């Protein structure tokens, strides 16, 4: 009789009973699917909001590097450097990101010319929630000593 009950529908009794009920249950419920989709949508929207300021920061860093590599930049006045940087950022559609006259720091010490721009970007996320991004761009070059 034990031998007869062991095989039902071609499977042994042990193969049909894998263990506790939580082990046998599987698959996605509507709640778990909704939660995963909500998390994916949340992080996608977060990325869509946060990526553009980083791309704009790349434009500012590229403009700083472009100005610092020009000939005779160490002899240029602050006004000339600000004007040149403004022209480059105007071409890249990035002039309204930073107040160059206020944020640009030019230092000349130890035969090194340093250009630095420190600025913050506030991104409204939803209702009264905002993200604050702080950027610090630097470019430097050794000055030629006559």
pLDDT at residue number 71: 87
Contacts of 140 (CB under 8 A, 6+ apart): 68, 112, 113, 114, 115
Main-chain phi, psi angles of 29, to 5 degrees: -95, 170
pLDDT at residue number 74: 86
Neighbours of 55 (CB within 10 A): 9
pLDDT at residue number 20: 63
DSSP string, 75-142: GS-HHHHHHHHHHHHHHTT-GGG--HHHHEEEEEETTEEEEEEEEEEEEEEETTEEEEEEEEEEEEEE
∠ CA(52), CA(100), CA(126), 5° rounding? 35
pLDDT at residue number 80: 93
Q: What is the pTM of this model?
A: 0.72
- pLDDT, averaged per 10 consecutive residues of the chain (146 residues), comes to 51 56 70 94 94 95 93 89 93 88 90 93 92 95 76
pLDDT at residue number 17: 56
Contacts of 67 (CB under 8 A, 6+ apart): 73, 81, 84, 85, 88, 115, 139
């Amino acid at each position: 009789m034990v031998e007869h009950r062991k095989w039902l529908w071609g499977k042994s009794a042990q193969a049909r009973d894998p263990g506790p009920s939580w082990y046998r249950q599987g698959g996605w419920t509507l709640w778990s699917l909704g939660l995963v989709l909500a998390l994916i949508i949340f992080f996608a929207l977060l990325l869509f909001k946060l990526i553009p300021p980083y791309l704009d920061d790349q434009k500012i860093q590229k403009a700083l590097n472009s100005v610092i590599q020009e000939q005779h930049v160490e002899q240029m006045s602050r006004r000339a450097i600000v004007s040149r940087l403004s022209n480059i950022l105007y071409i890249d559609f990035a002039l309204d990101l930073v107040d160059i006259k206020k944020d640009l720091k030019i230092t000349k010490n130890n035969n090194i010319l340093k250009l630095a721009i420190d600025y913050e970007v506030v991104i409204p996320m939803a209702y009264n929630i905002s993200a604050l991004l702080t950027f610090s761009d630097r470019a430097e070059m050794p000055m030629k000593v006559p």
